[in-house]
């Protein structure tokens, strides 16, 4: 069976649309939804050893269209990666109560995942992203 061809726009590293605002020191991906600076989605990223990173990259590269990979990235959070078609992957998230997928090509996805490498350091301009996330008001817990 042939894989479906994705007609949905997807993020690329050389994209003209400013989709990635940055990656904070906790390796959270700050993605501007559809390039809108007002709509920001924060997706938890990997924090693993070099060996685990190599294993994860191998698992992602072996995904076939229609397959998914769920990677634990915290106590109760996961990074869900879906292979939509050849060279098109979806990062699953939940934004304002709605499920969303951020579509990326393989190069952009692997670049995000490579920030899990122990030697990776965020640049000075993205330090504030983590601070903003810390001081952002939280919704009260549902009872």
DSSP H stretches of helix in the chain:
50-61, 106-113, 127-135
> The tokens 């060279």 sit on which residue?
87
Task: Report the chain's mean pLDDT, rounded to a whole number.
Answer: 81
> pLDDT tens digit string along 5-57?
544 556 666 666 678 888 888 888 888 887 788 888 999 988 888 999 999 99
Question: For the whole prediction, is pTM greater than 0.85?
Answer: no
Cα dihedral sign, 112-9-95-77: negative
């Amino acid at each position: 069976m042939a894989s479906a061809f994705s007609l949905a726009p997807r993020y690329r590293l050389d994209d003209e649309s400013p989709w990635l605002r940055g990656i904070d020191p906790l390796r959270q991906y700050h993605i501007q939804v559809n390039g809108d600076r007002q709509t920001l989605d924060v997706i938890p990223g990997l924090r693993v050893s070099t060996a685990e990173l190599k294993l994860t990259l191998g698992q992602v590269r072996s995904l076939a269209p229609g397959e998914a990979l769920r990677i634990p990235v915290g106590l109760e959070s996961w990074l869900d990666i879906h292979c939509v078609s050849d060279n098109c992957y979806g990062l699953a998230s939940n934004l304002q109560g709605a499920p969303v997928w951020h579509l990326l090509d393989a190069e952009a996805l692997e670049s995000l995942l490579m920030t899990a490498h122990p030697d990776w350091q965020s640049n000075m301009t993205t330090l504030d992203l983590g601070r903003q996330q810390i001081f952002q008001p939280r919704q009260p817990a549902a009872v």
